[in-house]
Amino acid sequence: MALPGTSSGLHIAHIAAEMAPVAKVGGLADVISGLGKALQKKGHLVEIILPKYDCMQVDQVSNLKVLDVLVQSYFEGNMFNNKIWTGTVEGLPVYFIEPQHPAMFFSRAQYYGEHDDFKRFTYFSRAALELLYQSGKKVDIIHCHDWQTAFVAPLYWDVYANLGFNSARICFTCHNFEYQGTAPARDLAWCGLDVEHLDRPDRMRDNSHGRINAVKGAIVYSNIVTTVSPTYALEVRSEGGRGLQDTLKVHSRKFLGILNGIDTDTWNPSTDRYLKVQYNAKDLQGKAANKAALREQLNLASAYPSQPLVGCITRLVAQKGVHLIRHAIYKTAELGGQFVLLGSSPVPEIQREFEGIADHFQNNNNIRLILKYDDALSHCIYAASDMFIVPSIFEPCGLTQMIAMRYGSVPIVRKTGGLNDSVFDFDDETIPMEVRNGFTFVKADEQGLSSAMERAFNCYTRKPEVWKQLVQKDMTIDFSWDTSASQYEDIYQKAVARARAVA
Binding site for ligand ADP (CB under 6 A): 26-27, 30, 313-315, 342-344, 373-375, 378, 397-400
Q: Using CA atoms of 18, 21, 25, 30 in order, give the dihedral in degrees to the nearest 10.
A: 70
- Minimum CB separation of residue 270 from ligand ADP in Å reads 18
Which residue is at the shortest CB distance from ligand ADP?
Answer: 27
Q: Which is nearer to ligand ADP, 26 or 448 (CB)?
A: 26
Q: Of 216, 226, 234, 235, which is closest to residue 260 (Cα–Cα)?
A: 226
What crossing angle do the helices spanning 348-360 and 322-335 adopt, rounded to 10°?
10
User: Is 193 strand, coil or helix?
Assistant: coil
Helices (H), 111-202: 117-135, 146-150, 152-155, 195-198
From residue 196, give the alpha-carbon distance in Å to each of 150, 157, 193. 18, 16, 9
Q: Torsions phi, psi of 8, nearest 5?
A: -85, -10
Q: Is 449 exposed, middle or buried (0-12, 13-18, 19+ CB in 10 A)?
A: buried
Q: Of 63, 56, 57, 10, which is closest to residue 36 (Cα–Cα)?
A: 10
Could you write out the DSSP letters of every residue in 34-46? HHHHHHHHTT-EE
Cis peptide leading into 21, omega within 30 of 0? Answer: yes
Phi-psi region of 305 (alpha: psi -120 to 50; beta: other; left: phi over 0): alpha
- Minimum CB separation of residue 371 from ligand ADP in Å reads 8
Q: Contact 266/213 with Cβ under 8 angstroms?
A: no
DSSP bridge partners of 158: none
| Maximum distance among all Cα pairs of the chain, rounded to whole angstroms | 71
Q: Which is nearer to ligand ADP, 191 or 449 (CB)?
A: 449
In 133-215, at which residue ranges do the beta strands (DSSP E only) sit? 141-145, 169-174, 182-183, 212-213
d(CA 480, CA 501): 33
Q: Which is nearer to ligand ADP, 375 or 482 (CB)?
A: 375
Q: Which is nearer to ligand ADP, 99 or 398 (CB)?
A: 398
Residue 228, Cα to own-chain centre: how many angstroms?
9
- Minimum CB separation of residue 398 from ligand ADP in Å reads 4
- Minimum CB separation of residue 80 from ligand ADP in Å reads 31
- Minimum CB separation of residue 100 from ligand ADP in Å reads 31
- Minimum CB separation of residue 54 from ligand ADP in Å reads 20
Q: Contact 437/430 with Cβ under 8 angstroms?
A: no
Q: Which is nearer to ligand ADP, 94 or 342 (CB)?
A: 342
